């Protein structure tokens, strides 16, 4: 289940750009849910908060009972996000990409490097 209550996101300092203003909704387990709206409506900001990429300014978000701000690792273990834009950085090597994404899952640097080198060795 996804539970969002009073979600607010303000970019910049006090009085900055308010991207979300008190958004609330819930999605029962097993349901499929999508966001529709014009550019600037807050769809991407909401998804980034749900996927723990951004922290909310205010409000709460729980996924499967886990707060995205207080327990992001538990949330990341339960979700997957496929962005609409390319998520690779042209200046990073394959090894650097694997290490970068491993950091999102709390894998220590040394372990991430060992695992990345092993994976790259398997694919040539």
* Helix or strand run (H / E) with residue 112: helix 109-123
| pLDDT greater at residue 102 or residue 15 | 102
d(CA 21, CA 44): 14
Q: How many domains does the chain have?
A: 2
Domain that holds residue 112: 94-123
User: Distance between alpha carbon 17 and the CA centroid of its chain, in Å?
Assistant: 20
d(CA 41, CA 20): 8
Place of tokens 């834009």: 85
Q: Is residue 86 part of a domain?
A: no
Q: Is residue 47 part of a domain?
A: yes
* 101 and 72 part of one domain: no
**Four-CA torsion 104, 110, 111, 116, nearest 10 degrees:** 80
d(CA 95, CA 92): 8
Q: pTM of the predicted model, to two decimals?
A: 0.68
The arithmetic mean of pLDDT across residues 102-110, rounded, is: 82
* 20 and 63 part of one domain: yes
Q: What is the pLDDT of residue 77?
A: 84
User: Distance between alpha carbon 116 and the CA centroid of its chain, in Å?
Assistant: 22
Confidence of residue 86 (pLDDT cuts 50, 70, 90): low
* 61 and 101 part of one domain: no
What would the pLDDT profile of 40-57 be if each residue is shown by its tens digit? Answer: 899 989 998 998 888 899
**What are 93's two structure tokens?**
């090597």
């Amino acid at each position: 289940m996804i539970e969002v209550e009073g979600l607010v996101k303000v970019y910049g300092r006090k009085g900055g750009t308010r991207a979300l203003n008190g958004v609330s909704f819930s999605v029962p387990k097993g349901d499929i849910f999508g966001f529709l709206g014009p550019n600037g409506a807050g769809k991407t900001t909401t998804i980034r908060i749900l996927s723990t990429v951004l922290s909310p300014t205010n409000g709460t978000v729980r996924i499967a009972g886990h707060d995205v701000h207080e327990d992001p690792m538990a949330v990341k273990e339960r979700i997957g996000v496929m962005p609409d834009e390319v998520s690779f950085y042209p200046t990073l090597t394959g090894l650097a990409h694997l290490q970068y994404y491993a950091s999102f899952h709390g894998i220590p640097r040394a372990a991430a490097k060992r695992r990345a080198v092993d994976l790259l060795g398997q694919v040539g």
